[in-house]
């Protein structure tokens, strides 16, 4: 089949998010102007640069996380894992302004070193970020949309040392989860390693590139 999104897909459910999948979950913590913590998951999230490291999340309306990050210039990414799924899901419930998703989800908050927002203590990794850019989306006709992107530079990295193996972060052990289409999620499955043509040398199954 082929369809133009502006004309509709004709299916019972929109396939867009199922096609662009899996997507890492941006579990974002922030504080508002009064220092009250907020925590919410975003499925439009990813790393966007490496030197310096930068990540971005998109909010399809001006929700608390986006508003807080833009107002304070800071946010924290917390790695969501299979063990933390239920808590993450609870934190998506849309508590009112000033109500703590940390408390609602039974999560312990831990202080960050550089930014004011707290992090999820149980997360295997957390990235402290300062906002470098935020903007509202426009469509091809130049019309403003109800969507904002917030890009943050990573200024601090927390790693639970239990997930460090031979100098590497053990993604398999951390078991991060991802958002797929509809109401579907994915846990980390098969992993394999391959050398790029520019890496040189040869690759054998089971070998890890040092």
What would the pLDDT profile of 50-60 be if each residue is shown by its tens digit?
Answer: 999 999 999 99
How far is 29 from 74, CA to CA, in rounded Å? 9
Per-residue CA distances from 135 to 8, 147, 156, 174, 178 (Å): 27, 9, 23, 32, 25
Residue 205 lies in a domain: no
Confidence tier at 9 by pLDDT (50, 70, 90):
very high
Residue 63 lies in a domain: yes
Looking at residue 198, what DSSP letter applies? G
pLDDT (tens digit per residue) in 116-139 = 999 999 999 999 999 999 999 999
Q: 53: which strand partners?
A: 50
Residue 206 lies in a domain: no
How far is 27 from 124, CA to CA, in rounded Å? 12
**The pLDDT of residue 202:** 58
Structural domain of 45 = 5-199
Residue 205 has pLDDT above 60, yes or no: no
pLDDT (tens digit per residue) in 141-165 = 999 999 999 999 999 999 999 999 9
CB 41 within 8 A of CB 176: no
Residue 176 lies in a domain: yes
Residue 210 has pLDDT above 50, yes or no: no
Residue 169 lies in a domain: yes
Tell how strand 125-138 and strand 74-78 pair up.
antiparallel
Number of domains present in the structure of the chain: 1
Residue 210 lies in a domain: no
pLDDT (tens digit per residue) in 56-109 = 999 999 999 999 999 999 999 999 999 999 999 999 987 777 778 999 999 999
Residue 204 lies in a domain: no
Q: What is the CATH number of the domain that holds 115?
A: 2.30.110.10
Burial 168-207 (b: 16+ CB within 10 A, else e): eeeeeebbbbbbbbeeebeebeeeeeeeeeeeeeeeeeee
**The pLDDT of residue 201:** 63
**Of 136, 128, 126, whose CA–CA distance to 152 is shortest?**
128
């Amino acid at each position: 089949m082929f369809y133009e999104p502006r004309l509709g897909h004709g299916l019972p459910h929109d396939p867009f998010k199922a096609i662009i999948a899996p997507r890492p979950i941006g579990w974002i913590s922030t504080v508002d102007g009064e220092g009250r913590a907020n925590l919410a998951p975003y499925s439009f999230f990813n790393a966007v640069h490496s030197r310096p490291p930068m990540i971005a999340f998109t909010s399809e309306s001006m929700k608390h996380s986006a508003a807080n990050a833009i107002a304070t210039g800071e946010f924290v990414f917390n790695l969501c894992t299979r063990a933390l799924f239920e808590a993450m899901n609870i934190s998506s419930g849309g508590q009112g302004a000033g109500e703590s998703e940390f408390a609602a989800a039974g999560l312990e908050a831990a202080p960050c070193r550089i930014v004011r927002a707290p992090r999820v203590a149980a997360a295997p990794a957390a990235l402290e970020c300062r906002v470098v850019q935020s903007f509202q989306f426009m469509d091809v006709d130049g019309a403003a949309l109800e969507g904002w992107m917030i890009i943050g530079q990573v200024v601090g990295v927390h790693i639970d040392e239990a997930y460090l193996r031979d100098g590497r972060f053990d993604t398999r052990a951390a078991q991060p989860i991802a958002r797929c289409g509809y109401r579907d999620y994915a846990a980390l499955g098969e992993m394999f390693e391959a050398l790029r043509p520019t890496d040189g040398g040869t690759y054998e199954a089971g070998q890890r590139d040092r």
